[in-house]
Amino acid sequence: MRFLFKTDYEDDIRLFPHSGYIYSYGLLLAVLLVAPYVLSSYLMSQLVFVCIYATVGVGLLILTGFTGQASLGHAAFLAIGAYTAAYLQQFNVPFPVYFLAAGLLTGVVGALVGFPALRLQGIYLVIATISFAFIVEEILARWESVTHGNEGMRVKTIQLFGTTVSRDGPTFYYLCLAVLVLTIVGTLNLLRSPTGRAFVAIRDSETAARSMGINVALYKVKSFAISAAITGFAGVLFAHKLSFISPEMFTLQLSIEFIIVILIGGTFSLHGAVLGAIFLVMIDPFLTYLKDDMPGVISGVAATLGAGTERAGHIQDAVAAFASANGLKGAIYGIIIVVFVLFEPLGLYGRWLKIKLFFQLFPLYKRATFKRQKIYVKSERNR
């Protein structure tokens, strides 16, 4: 176990507390940089989606994890970013310009959503953000002169400095990775400065935050704007990756997927966004496996266990019917959320920390270390 002896205030400010972090994150970065030359094109495509989902996850963490304002409307922010890019592309606006414009516009919309949300708490805020998402979805479907309605819009490949960046090529992957890394670094910077602390203060006690001189309304709007802007940037990349966007891609299900990303990853640290994104994106190949291979495997097992050929065939059909049932994905999402909320509220990153601590303290680890203490003195009446 490592003990850190702090000798300077800088020790509590720097991003990497000790050299071990630099080595491990450096190694991770190196692995991510050579990934396009090693992994199959399918896995690379999944990795791009991990980057995009993780970027949205970081944006959502700022709002939900650190400021404590729940949102089920982030699919709408993603849509605004994506459509801004697709719309501006028609006028031959260069990529860096419409990329920034999309983030800026989404940020402004986020701030506008933040104002009515100021008076709402908890479940009411969730409902308000859902309604916002429905409004945006409806506008995208009806405002045909700009969005081409339900026909959707084609998104051309990126032209960057005179070269074409194919959506399947390594350059596009590096672009997504760069956006993710810059987002994370910017967010970490924010969290170690007064604004980030104000967010956390608002999450834990609005009354105390106010009496410490924090303009709660202003910081909530700021949090909405930053969160939306990050999601808008991700939306541009999302549009380019899919090369075609239409209103039915940005539904409530997508917003729920973003919530799953941070809920499963862990809402208290940025690691959660990345781990959650990996988890969520990898559900798809898992479902494909379930559909294609599981029935055969199970019937094979049944046959070796002595079931007749006919019965094994029945089993295979039943499993196949189950695996391709409509709404299986939604059901799996639901089960995952319930399981995590019940058994691991700290998410995957929380589980990782526990495993790490187990080995650091071995053999002295106590299960009660992470047990939450219940406290009943906090008053809610001054909210």
Partner 1 sequence: MSYFRAENLSLHFGGLKAVDAVSFAVEKGEILSIIGPNGAGKSSIFNLISRIYPPTSGKIFFEDQDITQQPAYDIARLGIARTFQNIELFENATVLSNLLVGRHRHSTTQLWQELLFLPSVRAGEKAHRRRVEQVIEFLDLEPYRDKLISGLPYGVRKVIELARALCSEPKLILLDEPSSGLNVEETDDMSFWIRDMKSELGITVLMVEHDMTLVNRVSDRVIALNYGRVLAMGSPSEVQHHPDVVAAYLGA
Instruction: Pick one of 19, 92, 343, 372: the residue that binds partner 1 (CB under 8 A).
Output: 372
Query: Residue 253 is encoded by which pair of tokens?
Result: 């299900």
Q: At what angle do helices 270-292 and 309-323 cross, to 10 degrees?
A: 140
Nearest to 175 by CA among 264, 241, 121: 241
Contact by Cβ (8 Å): 66, 267: no
Residue 41 vs residues 141, 221, 281: alpha-carbon distances, Å: 33, 41, 15
End-to-end CA distance of the chain: 42
DSSP for 347-369?
HHHHHHHHHHHHHHHTT---GGG
* CB closer to partner 1 out of 197 and 329: 197
* CB closer to partner 1 out of 188 and 252: 188
Instruction: Pick one of 1, 2, 3, 12: the residue that binds partner 1 (CB under 8 A).
Output: 12
* CB closer to partner 1 out of 6 and 359: 6
Query: Residues touching partner 1: how many (CB under 8 A)?
Result: 38
Q: What is the DSSP letter of 269?
A: S
| Residue 122 interacting with partner 1 (CB under 8 A) | no
Task: Report the length, in residues, of the chain.
Answer: 383
Residue 52 vs residues 85, 136, 278, 303: alpha-carbon distances, Å: 15, 21, 10, 43
**x/- contact string, 259-298, with partner 1 (CB under 8 A)?**
---------x------------------------------
* CB closer to partner 1 out of 76 and 201: 201
| Residue 346 interacting with partner 1 (CB under 8 A) | no
* CB closer to partner 1 out of 173 and 219: 219
Q: Could you tell me the smallest distance in angstroms from the CB atom of residue 370 to partner 1?
A: 11
**x/- contact string, 184-223, with partner 1 (CB under 8 A)?**
--x--xx-xxxxxxx-xx-xxx-xxxxxxxxxx-----x-
Q: Could you tell me the smallest distance in angstroms from the CB atom of residue 15 to partner 1?
A: 9
| Residue 10 interacting with partner 1 (CB under 8 A) | yes
CA 323 to mean position of chain CA atoms: 26
* CB closer to partner 1 out of 310 and 378: 378
Phi, psi dihedrals of residue 81, rounded to the nearest 5°: -60, -45
| Residue 22 interacting with partner 1 (CB under 8 A) | no
Which parts of this chain interact with partner 1 (CB under 8 A)?
9-10, 12-13, 186, 189-190, 192-198, 200-201, 203-205, 207-216, 222, 268, 372-373, 375, 377-379, 382
